[in-house]
Amino acid sequence: LGLSRVFWLMPVGSAIALVAAVPGTAWLFPLFIFPSLGWNVMYPHFTEYLARRTPEAVRASVISVSNLISGLLSVIVTPVVALGVDRLGFRPTLTALAASLVAVIAIAYLAWLRADRATPFEDGAPGDGRPDIDAPDAPAIPSMPAV
């Protein structure tokens, strides 16, 4: 699919699955698996994208913070959706959730496209003429000369 299509199709497909499930018919129930599937398909692409664009010294921290934010959002959104279902009902809550998801993803996707155009080449990409940011400045084993 490619990175750009995955970053766009998976969240939008998740929102469409939520909207399709709004009528509450039993035969549409399998669509509820798609949001989870979509995010799990997108996660390795997102992590790899972050890994290629962050220096090795902070790579683990950036990916950890990304996972932390994802977990915190799940902890916040889940009770809010449950409260919405209790107070407003199933259909209005899913419709609002799908609309919110599309709005957030559209903003994030456009911001990503803009940022990605600002840096057309990854650091260390073959043929871009720039040094690899992950190249060590010192030999791996300090007591041995660099080969």
Using pLDDT thresholds of 50, 70 and 90, give the confidence band for residue 32. Answer: confident
pLDDT digits (tens, 9 = 90+) for 70-102: 889 889 999 999 999 999 988 898 888 888 888
What b/e sequence results for 2-19 when a residue is b if at least 16 CB atoms lie within 10 Å of its CB, and e otherwise? eeeebbbbbbbbbbbbbb
**Where along the chain do its domains lie?**
3-118
Burial class (CB in 10 A: 0-12, 13-18, 19+), 39: middle
Alpha-carbon Rg for the chain in angstroms: 20
Q: What is the pLDDT of residues 121-139, one digit of tens each?
A: 444 444 344 444 444 444 4
